[in-house]
Amino acid sequence: MSQDRNGQIQPEPTQPVQTRTIGILGAGRVGTAVARQALKAGYEVKIATSKPAAENALLVEIITPGAAAVDVSEAVQADLVVVAVPLHRYRTLSPADLAGKIVIDAMNYWAPVDGTIDDFEDELRGSSEVVQDFLAASRVVKTLNHIGYHDLEAHGTEPGTVGRRALAVAGDDAEAKERVAAFIDSLGYDTVDAGPLAAGRVFHPGTPIFNGPHTAAAIRALLAEAVTAAPAA
């Protein structure tokens, strides 16, 4: 606390929360691409899978040098947690371990490729809404699902670059979206706030946004088109 010129006690200004550590659940192509890009951006990166950390250590050292292979219990303690496991395994996540955490859902449901999963056949909910319902106490943000793992490392550019590629971000928690947007920016991409988590359906596989790449202006235009085309409730 401090005092102003009239002697009134004033609260100290709130300092923005700094994101320093990134936990990644999943060591497939998406998870490891995010890890490498996050390492380049200066984050401490921890990668976990369903296997014990010791069994992943060599793989992580070779594929994502600089990242640490850890157990899930340690990865979920990171400032941001990226979930990049095959979507059909989402129920292997621990709602208790992820309670209160900002969770980036980078997963996709694509039935022609992955097969039909009944949990995601509900036309009233997008895949991230299903994940949020399962991780009820987490703050789920959908992004990173509409860029190829190879593009993620190739397309990143500095802020202000003309034609900089953008990614959409959807979530129900404003502060969580801000934190995730800052992370995405540090990876080399502009961000567009798509709105609530339900809006994540607008960049599901097969949608114009998913089929990118797009600038921020282009994504905003496609979001506007999607709203206009949406049937009245």
User: pLDDT (tens digit, 9 = 90+) per residue, 187-210?
Assistant: 999 999 999 999 999 999 999 999
Structure pTM? 0.90
Please check whether residue 69 is in contact with residue 33, taking contact to mean a CB–CB distance below 8 angstroms.
Answer: no
Which has the closest alpha carbon to 47: 62, 66, 60? 60
| Distance separating alpha carbons of residues 9 and 233, to the nearest angstrom | 50
Dihedral (C-alpha) 31, 130, 91, 55: value to the nearest 10 degrees? 0
* pLDDT value of position 114: 76
- Stretches where the chain sits below pLDDT 70 are 1-17, 229-233
- Tell me how crowded residue 109 is: count the other CB atoms within 10 A of its CB: 22
Name the DSSP class of 92: G
Name the DSSP class of 19: P
| Distance separating alpha carbons of residues 4 and 160, to the nearest angstrom | 38
* pLDDT value of position 229: 64
Look at the domain 2-229 and name its fold: Rossmann fold (3.40.50)
